[in-house]
Chain A
């Protein structure tokens, strides 16, 4: 699998790492059941602190994209591909709304107001 980080990105590092993994899953770089490289390997290859990587992976587990299994490491969850694609679009929507001056609550209200 190929992971890439944007060096000019100003978001917190753990969000950037989570974003890179989310994109890799959405683009089919790794499928359901595939084992992710260990946090230590990811941290060495991306030149990011291992705790930052772990924080990113835990966040992705909470989103339902990853599964942590004892003895099997971190694997991609079933159905994670389409799910992560949606996650990416929601994040883009929230970011775009913020740029235009709308808060998250405004966006939620807009969605509620949809027919």
Chain B
């Protein structure tokens, strides 16, 4: 609970600071505020009216913070999430620090063009943000270990009996139609932009950036629209996307324990390839996941596939077979 309250208070507090700061001292600010300086240049090259200078960073922050806080609030168990802390804390510091620097640079100026670049401020803010991120990561991971480090990995692990003269293989596959749809739509948009750019319909500069963004989004969604897991004498193999590439492999000897576990996107921070306090999770749908603990690692690898219990049982059987 304390984690959620802190996250909400931090989100609301930073929003208030970002939106409120320019308004509090508006008497001493010019009509438009200098908000952007070129690299190494003293003179500002971008400005915003007071309301925009106050609302734009606040909205930017709200969107970022909501992305991290909403899953936290919806998660049933207070799963440890070092990433949330390591993102929320420095982002808030950077935005609030930059806002303070902008206000200070514009303070008592008659016109925004007179505002000088607050270079030293920015450097200090960035250094503080990096230190805060590192500190947040350490505190959160230590807490996660203290909370979740109980129980030996082998306890209650299911195992399947394989007769000596049998070769057994287990297959499972998960598809996320929404990811397929998003991949298809962004792919079409990317092609459209490419045609527009090549045909010279619009300014190519911005178009290429939009094309790159859509193409990357399409490819990454396609990659995580389906996942195949396979357990055989070669160990566990997890391959991604319609082409089954790339593939991650663990030999039976490289796995300490396997189990099935129910996980949802809210616990691991969303869909796709997720790194969270629970380790790495390939999350395509909420529900049953095959979870393994690779040898010599402190973090798990999980993939959301049906029939994970039998997959884990077979993997455990192969593992003990090899070590026996």
Contact = CB atoms under 8 A, between A and B. Distances in A.
- The dominant DSSP class at the A interface is mixed
Interface stretch (B18-26, B163-171, B266-274): B163-171
Interface residues of B, number: 21
A8 to B, nearest CB: 5
A37 B167 contact: no
Interface in A1-35: 1-8, 35
A103 interface: no
A46 interface: yes
Contact of A2 (B234, B237, B310): B310
Contacts, number: 57
A38 B244 CA distance: 9
A1 B230 CA distance: 10
- The dominant DSSP class at the B interface is strand
Nearest to B160: A2
Q: Find the residue from B169, B232, B307 having the highest chain A CB count within 10 A.
A: B169
Given A41-B228, A44-B232, A5 B171 contact: no
Given A37-B230, A44-B234, A46-B232, A4 B169 contact: yes
Contacts of B231: 45
Interface size class of A (residues with CB under 8 A): 10 to 19
Given A4-B169, A45-B169, 17 more contacts: A2-B169, A2-B314, A5-B166, A5-B168, A6-B166, A37-B173, A37-B230, A38-B244, A41-B171, A41-B244, A42-B169, A44-B232, A44-B234, A45-B230, A45-B234, A45-B237, A47-B233
